[in-house]
Amino acid sequence: MTARPTGPTRRGLRVAAFGSLLAVGLAFGAAACSSGVTDDQLAQTTPTTPLVQAVDAPLNAVPTSGQDPADATAPGADAPADPLVTGAPTETNMTALTDIPDPAPVSTAGPIAPAGNIDQIVPEIPVTTAPAVALTDTADFGGQVSARISQVSAVQATATLPGEVSGPAVAVTLEITNGSGQGIGLDAVTVTMADAGGNPTTAITLNTTDPAAPLQGVLDAGATTSGSYVFTVPADQRNPVTVTVNYSAGAPTLVFTGEVAGG
């Protein structure tokens, strides 16, 4: 005698599956009934218009500010939107092509020949020195321009710039008279001093202590002006002192010599 298997049969499985589906359907039905939503309410919540509304406008239509996109018109339509004004109108001055001046003509004559060359020798201006005069005398530059030392005094100098030396000094007031018919420049006036041994002394520039005020600017025709220069000179080297003055490359160098009073 053969033993038969005791597991579920194929028919039994179908019945079990159908029963499960039926139970699930009944559960969903009961949930719908318990929600309390009637057919009329369901009908009211159903939209009556489509979610996407078709508009009669071209794809490239651009709506203006505050305009419904459905009312946009295509570029070039009969009723364009008003232009958007962003500020006050401005005026632009336009120049017509006919108002532009013609360019300057281009020269075809070639390069201009130079006035000189590297082989040219420029003659030197001779530097002359006038004969020495006393400190109180007047000397002549030529061209109706003259100079004289109106005052010489012993002072105590105070150095203010690098290279200057404080100590006993001599202050010289130089006066220049322009008797010519035109103005002369005084910015190039140079004044130097040598002590009794012929050694150059140190000049002191303009400062608040020493009366140094060099000549500068332009001296008008017929006018006279003066400037002050200060040089450090030891007291035992002031007799005599030599002052040289020059104001132009073509004028001679004037020389004044003599003793310093009180030195």
- Tell me the domain boundaries of the chain: 133-258
Question: Tokens at residue 70, please?
Answer: 């459905």
pTM of the model: 0.52
CATH code for residues 133-258: 2.60.40.1240
More confident residue, 236 or 23: 236
Q: How far apart are CA 230 and CA 61, in angstroms?
A: 92
Here the tokens at position 85 are: 């004004």
- In a 10 Å sphere around its CB, with 0-12 CB exposed, 13-18 middle and 19+ buried, how is residue 149 labelled? buried
CA distance 29 to 43: 19
**CA 61, CA 68: separation in Å to the nearest integer?**
11
The residue type of 140 is D
Q: Which of 104, 96, 136, 145 is nearest to 248 (CA)?
A: 145
Task: Dump pLDDT digits (tens) for 125-147.
Answer: 778 999 999 998 999 999 999 99
Confidence of residue 161 (pLDDT cuts 50, 70, 90): confident
Q: Give 37-91 as a DSSP string.
A: --HHHHHHTS-SS-SS---S--TT----TT--GGG---TT-SSPPPPPP-S----
Q: Enumerate residues 6+ apart whose C-beta is below 8 A from 192.
A: 200, 201, 203, 243, 244
Coil, strand or helix: which one is 198? coil
Of 176, 187, 191, nearest to 225 by C-alpha is 176
pLDDT score for 196: 94
Dump pLDDT digits (tens) for 163-191: 777 789 999 999 999 999 999 999 999 99
In the block, tokens 């007031």 appear at: 173
